[in-house]
Amino acid sequence: MGLRSNRRTFVGGLGALLASAWGSGRLRTASAAPVPAQPEKISGFGSSGNVYQELGVATVINGQGTMTTLGGSLIRPEVEAVMALATKHFVSIPELERAAGERIAQMLKLPDGYSALVTSGAAAAIQSGLAGLLTGDNEQLIQQLPDLTGLKSEVLIQKAHRNPFDHQLRATGVKLVVIETRDELRNAVGPKTAMMHFSNFANSAGQIKVEEWLKLAKEHNLPAMIDAAADTPPVSHLWDYANMGYDMITFSGGKAIRGPQCAGLLLGRKEMVHNALLNNSPFEDTLGRGQKVGKEEIVGMIKALELYLNEDQEALTKQWWSRLDKISTEVTKVPGVSTAYFVPDVANHVPHVQINWDPRRIALATHEAAGLLRKGTPSIVVESTETGLAMNSFMLQPGEDTIVGAKIAELLRAHPV
């Protein structure tokens, strides 16, 4: 009885739906060509279309780049669509992780013996990668972290490479052994040494550069990890360091790749990637259980990479330059203002503009200028430097270059000496 009445209700409901679809003309469209999935109609929170405004949190124009504190990057719409597909079924997460890792290794044409793991970010990749190295696949050791009793307990790093993300190394319980010279490195290697870590963005700051660091690691028979979180573009960096021979390489998924914000990649030797996963969510009683990766992020990361690899990088770069040109043209109309372009060597390797002003003509401290732009409407985020402001354009949305140029020009004009 119950079943029949349910069926009737269901059929009745379907009939009503078909009738209304026919009435609105949507069904005819549907029979001719597949209709893209319509977003669910939102009532209540989100119904205005601007969730941030509903919460009273101002959105910003991002001239700073892929900063996690500003939300990283804007996810590609197709990635979002694929993530929505992932929400519709249950799967074994470890099985999905392994399949995704193989697919990513193929897409990036990583060398034989390499695989990939989607993590919750580059920071998580650093932590799980090292954890896996320390514990191997030994369940008891995995549960024991960050207690390193009986395990290797030191990681070598150059002084100039220390940065806030080495907290993820220290979180495993290891001690960082900080060195500067080749001799110091040789003396520091010992039975407790687990790994040599390289921060790619600091390449030029350290005495030992990226290739030599790897060579020294091989000489000492130590695994080498490189953090290249923000180091695309160029796209080729996604395979360059694996081809060079680094054992583990970390990337952010939610920076220039424009994947899910809470995703990243650990690329590395199969066994290391395998052991990293064992130290990570969804496995319990692990150091990485707090770094959950969802099925949505895992498939979203694949899609983001696919799109990133097929993107016309030259056209993108041109667009980034032309936005900066527009801003430069506008601000240099203000007497006493000059601009200069630069591209950082590594990490945020994208066009930047430096906007300088003559303090004899414009009376505004650079940090005040940045602060006023941040507090303005719309709020604009750029960096202040010693001589002026610096910004990039790769996270600007269409039309924002015009706004930024006008607002900075207006601000500087408003502060004559």
Ligand X SMILES: *Cc1c(COP(=O)(O)O)cnc(C)c1O
Cβ of residue 68: shortest distance to ligand X, in angstroms? 5
Out of 264, 288, 300, 388, which residue is the one contacting ligand X (CB under 6 A)? Answer: 264
Q: How many CA atoms lie within 13 A of 129 on its CB side?
A: 37
Cβ of residue 71: shortest distance to ligand X, in angstroms? 11
Binding residues among 191-210 for ligand X as defined by CB under 6 A: 201
Packing angle of the helix pair 313-331, 400-413 (nearest 10 deg): 20
The two three-digit tokens of residue 205, written as one number: 């700051």
Non-local (6+) Cβ contacts of 183 within 8 A are none
Count of positions on this chain that bind ligand X (CB under 6 A): 12
Over the window 286 to 325, marking each residue x when it contacts ligand X by CB under 6 A and - when it does not, the resulting string is ----------------------------------------
Give the distance from CA 280 to its chain's centroid.
19
Closer of 108 and 226 to ligand X (Cβ): 226
Out of 83, 117, 122, 277, which residue is the one contacting ligand X (CB under 6 A)? Answer: 122
Binding residues among 152-171 for ligand X as defined by CB under 6 A: 165
The two three-digit tokens of residue 313, written as one number: 């990088």
DSSP characters over 174-243: PEEEEE-SHHHHHHH--TTEEEEEEEGGGTTTSSS-HHHHHHHHHHTT--EEEE-TT--SSTTHHHHHHH
Give 265's DSSP letter: E
Closer of 251 and 357 to ligand X (Cβ): 251
Closer of 68 and 207 to ligand X (Cβ): 68
Binding residues among 213-252 for ligand X as defined by CB under 6 A: 227, 229-230, 252
Closer of 70 and 93 to ligand X (Cβ): 70
Stretch that binds ligand X, among 21-29, 30-38, 115-123, 154-162 (CB under 6 A): 115-123
Strands 224-227 and 193-199, bridge-based pairing: parallel
- CA pair distance 181, 108, nearest whole angstrom: 34
Closer of 200 and 275 to ligand X (Cβ): 200
Does the protein bind ligand X through residue 121 (CB under 6 A)?
A: yes
Does the protein bind ligand X through residue 133 (CB under 6 A)?
A: no
Cβ of residue 344: shortest distance to ligand X, in angstroms? 12
Non-local (6+) Cβ contacts of 201 within 8 A are 163, 227, 230, 231, 346, 347
Cβ of residue 80: shortest distance to ligand X, in angstroms? 18
Over the window 61 to 80, marking each residue x when it contacts ligand X by CB under 6 A and - when it does not, the resulting string is -------x------------
Cβ of residue 367: shortest distance to ligand X, in angstroms? 23
Region at 201 (left for phi over 0; alpha for psi -120 to 50; beta for the rest): alpha
Residues that bind ligand X (CB under 6 A): 68, 121-123, 165, 201, 227, 229-230, 252, 254, 264
